[in-house]
Amino acid sequence: MDRRAFLAALSGALTSACVGGADVSTGSSADPTVTTGASSSTTSTTERTLVAPLEPPPGELPEGVFGLGVASGDPDGSSVVLWTRLVTDEAGLPSAVQLLWEVAYDPDFNELAATGVTDVGEGFGHAAHVLATGLPSNASFYYRFRVGSLTSPTGRTRTLAAAGQPLDQLRLAVSSCQLMETGHWAAHADIADADIDLVLWLGDFIYGGGGSSQLEGRAHRGSDPVGLAGYRARYRQYREDPLLQASSAAHPWMVTWDDHEVVNNYDATVDPVRRAAAYQAWWEHQPTRLAAPGLDGFDVFRSVDAGDLCRIAVLDQRQYADDTTLLGQKQQDWLAGELANDQRWTLLGSPVLVGGLLVPVQDEVLLPYTFDGYPDERKWLAGELAKQPNRLIASGDLHSAAVLEVTADPADLDQPTVATEFMAPPISSEFPADFAGLVGFIPLANPHVERVDVVNGWLRLDITPDRTTAEFRVVADVSDPNSRVASSGRYEVVAGDPTPVEL
Ligand SMILES: [Fe+2]
């Protein structure tokens, strides 16, 4: 196959298989969440304070109401969000339920750091989002929920080092894209076992479509979701998976979205009622400190500082995109402010590719929904990134693992590299099998692309003041939930030099 045919085929396969477009809608921003903990303090501390236990609220709920497990997320230097969602296969749950939540220093919950009672109700699918505050910084905790005689699984979580606090390492897992029909989630088991501080999730937590799978028990239940009930059911099916439950319970997560949280390639033509249903279901199933989506919109772009070491900012490249902008003016203005920081490193969590893939055929853009479709915006972003000393980009979406040197214009070989981009491999989504063997052509036409591998797995980032090390963790057999997961490819970015070096 010649290059033109290959690229045309690749383009068609990519756009139909996984990747997405654009959309409208605007939003409010990261307000503190729904329920606040018993103790409260916004200042950083390393002191352990103990609180007295509370009795679980009475309630006779069916066994299995904690069947979606627990998760935590959006940590900062003194707080973290605790999540669960009550479910039942029986007649239903009371319209309002009170849950006890506990955060402890020990797995037996003898030494409580914070506790309280939160209300959950049918309006938000009996989802709980508790902001546990007043916690020591850069510390580990156990947490759980209780009602009546029932207790949830125990989760582990961490706070970050408080902004500005000296920090000598930050360990991240990065991934995206977990179409359950094409694989099991051994990658999640490996993330669960990893010694990391935070999971950075870059989108495609669920996929739409009706059900079929070569793998037993992996077919989607129900038809393509379009309303709240359908999206809730799809998230429920995904969150019933024990390996996703393991990685969710093992570490705090920072979650953004891509297109499949609504529908493949969604754009401004998608019914706003459908988008609103998808956004609400996303919120109900993620451990985020964002306030629930309301009538004034739903901004999910946000950032957090880990000590004095790294600012992490996650982007939304679907909701605001149109013919003229990928990020939208509001998000661009916010991002410019986020990039002007005093942190040692800045890490952008970008659901879609930043560095670009060149197509050596005039007027063809392989991935028009990425920055390749918005070259002026990439120039702007590169200029903003260049103002900071050490910048990293983690991305997803293309169902492969990649390393790129990001410049203002990938077609101009004289442009300096402003950042290294690591594309995290997908948990279980497939690169189109017919074209997997042709991926080797990409670096030939793209000198700024160091590597592309069609694999499943996740990306580990170890950030220290002097250097960041990236390691691809690769699943040997995505059809096997017990698959071996092993390292395949390690790179280093040394502070002061944006160019990646293979180790
Ligand atoms: Fe995907």
Q: What is the pLDDT of residues 405-428, one digit of tens each?
A: 999 999 999 999 999 999 999 999
CATH number of domain containing 98: 2.60.40.380
Taking the CA atoms of residue 118, residue 304, residue 234 and residue 299 in that order, the dihedral angle to the nearest 10 degrees is: 90
What pLDDT sits at residue 28? 31
Whole-number Å distance, alpha carbon 382 to ligand 1 midpoint, is 25
The verdict on residue 25 lying in a domain is no
DSSP state of 167: -
Are 421 and 401 contacting, i.e. CB atoms less than 8 angstroms apart? no
Whole-number Å distance, alpha carbon 417 to ligand 1 midpoint, is 27
Asked which of 32-46, 121-135, 362-376 is least confident by mean pLDDT, the reply is 32-46
Whole-number Å distance, alpha carbon 244 to ligand 1 midpoint, is 16
Whole-number Å distance, alpha carbon 119 to ligand 1 midpoint, is 34
Asked if 229 and 89 sit in the same domain, the reply is: no
State how far the Cα of 222 lies from the Cα of 363, in Å rounded to an integer. Answer: 41
- Which residues does 473 contact at the CB level (< 8 Å), separation at least 6? 187, 190, 194, 425, 457, 458, 459, 460, 485, 486, 487, 488
Beta bridge partners of 151: 146
Per residue in 195-225, pLDDT tens?
999 999 999 999 999 889 999 999 999 999 9
Q: What does the pLDDT average to over 166-171?
A: 98
Q: How many domains does the chain have?
A: 2
Whole-number Å distance, alpha carbon 21 to ligand 1 midpoint, is 12
Whole-number Å distance, alpha carbon 317 to ligand 1 midpoint, is 14
Whole-number Å distance, alpha carbon 93 to ligand 1 midpoint, is 34
- Asked if residue 38 has pLDDT above 70, the reply is no
Are 400 and 423 contacting, i.e. CB atoms less than 8 angstroms apart? yes
Asked if 121 and 175 sit in the same domain, the reply is: no
Other C-beta atoms lying within 10 Å of the C-beta of residue 45 = 15
The verdict on residue 26 lying in a domain is no
Asked if 182 and 120 sit in the same domain, the reply is: no
CA atoms within 13 A on the CB side of 489: 23
Q: Which amino acid is at 464?
A: T
Other C-beta atoms lying within 10 Å of the C-beta of residue 213 = 14
How many angstroms separate the most distant Cα atoms in the chain?
A: 71
Are 426 and 396 contacting, i.e. CB atoms less than 8 angstroms apart? yes
What pLDDT sits at residue 19? 30
Asked if 141 and 253 sit in the same domain, the reply is: no
Q: What does the pLDDT average to over 248-257?
A: 98
Whole-number Å distance, alpha carbon 229 to ligand 1 midpoint, is 22
Q: What does the pLDDT average to over 354-383?
A: 89
Asked which of 26-40, 69-83, 200-214, 267-281 is least confident by mean pLDDT, the reply is 26-40
Other C-beta atoms lying within 10 Å of the C-beta of residue 389 = 12
Asked if 82 and 175 sit in the same domain, the reply is: no
Q: Which tokens hold the place of 188?
A: 């999640």
The verdict on residue 163 lying in a domain is no
Whole-number Å distance, alpha carbon 401 to ligand 1 midpoint, is 13
Q: Which helix (H) or strand (E) holds 349?
A: strand 345-350
State how far the Cα of 293 lies from the Cα of 228, in Å rounded to an integer. Answer: 13
State how far the Cα of 320 lies from the Cα of 438, in Å rounded to an integer. Answer: 33
Judged by phi (left if over 0) then psi (alpha if -120 to 50, else beta), residue 168 lies in alpha
Task: Report the percentage of the chain scoring pLDDT > 90.
Answer: 79
Outline where DSSP puts E strands in 64-209. Answer: 70-73, 80-85, 96-104, 112-121, 127-132, 140-147, 150-151, 155-158, 170-175, 198-201
What pLDDT sits at residue 367? 87
What pLDDT sits at residue 294? 83
CATH number of domain containing 390: 3.60.21.70
The verdict on residue 9 lying in a domain is yes
What pLDDT sits at residue 30? 34
Whole-number Å distance, alpha carbon 425 to ligand 1 midpoint, is 10
Whole-number Å distance, alpha carbon 89 to ligand 1 midpoint, is 30
- Which residues does 491 contact at the CB level (< 8 Å), separation at least 6? 403, 420, 422, 450, 469, 470, 471, 500, 501, 502, 503
Q: Which tokens hold the place of 275?
A: 């988008």
Asked if 489 and 445 sit in the same domain, the reply is: yes
Whole-number Å distance, alpha carbon 77 to ligand 1 midpoint, is 31
| Predicted confidence band of residue 47 (pLDDT cuts 50, 70, 90) | confident
Asked if 305 and 359 sit in the same domain, the reply is: yes
- Which residues does 180 contact at the CB level (< 8 Å), separation at least 6? 207, 213, 218, 220, 237, 238, 241, 428
The verdict on residue 30 lying in a domain is no
Asked if 479 and 375 sit in the same domain, the reply is: yes
State how far the Cα of 349 lies from the Cα of 332, in Å rounded to an integer. Answer: 14
Whole-number Å distance, alpha carbon 247 to ligand 1 midpoint, is 19
Per residue in 441-466, pLDDT tens?
888 889 999 999 999 999 999 999 99
- Asked if residue 36 has pLDDT above 60, the reply is no
Tell me which residue range forms the domain holding 137.
Answer: 35-158
What pLDDT sits at residue 308? 97
Asked if 144 and 65 sit in the same domain, the reply is: yes
Asked if 230 and 137 sit in the same domain, the reply is: no
Are 44 and 283 contacting, i.e. CB atoms less than 8 angstroms apart? no
- Asked if residue 20 has pLDDT above 70, the reply is no
What pLDDT sits at residue 44? 58
Whole-number Å distance, alpha carbon 101 to ligand 1 midpoint, is 34
Rounded to two decimals, what is the model's pTM?
0.91
Q: What is the full DSSP assignment across 449-468?
A: EEEEE---EEEEEEE-SSEE
What pLDDT sits at residue 472? 98
Distance of CA 361 to the CA centre of its chain: 34
| Predicted confidence band of residue 33 (pLDDT cuts 50, 70, 90) | very low
The verdict on residue 24 lying in a domain is no
The verdict on residue 28 lying in a domain is no
The verdict on residue 341 lying in a domain is yes
Whole-number Å distance, alpha carbon 148 to ligand 1 midpoint, is 40
Asked if 64 and 205 sit in the same domain, the reply is: no
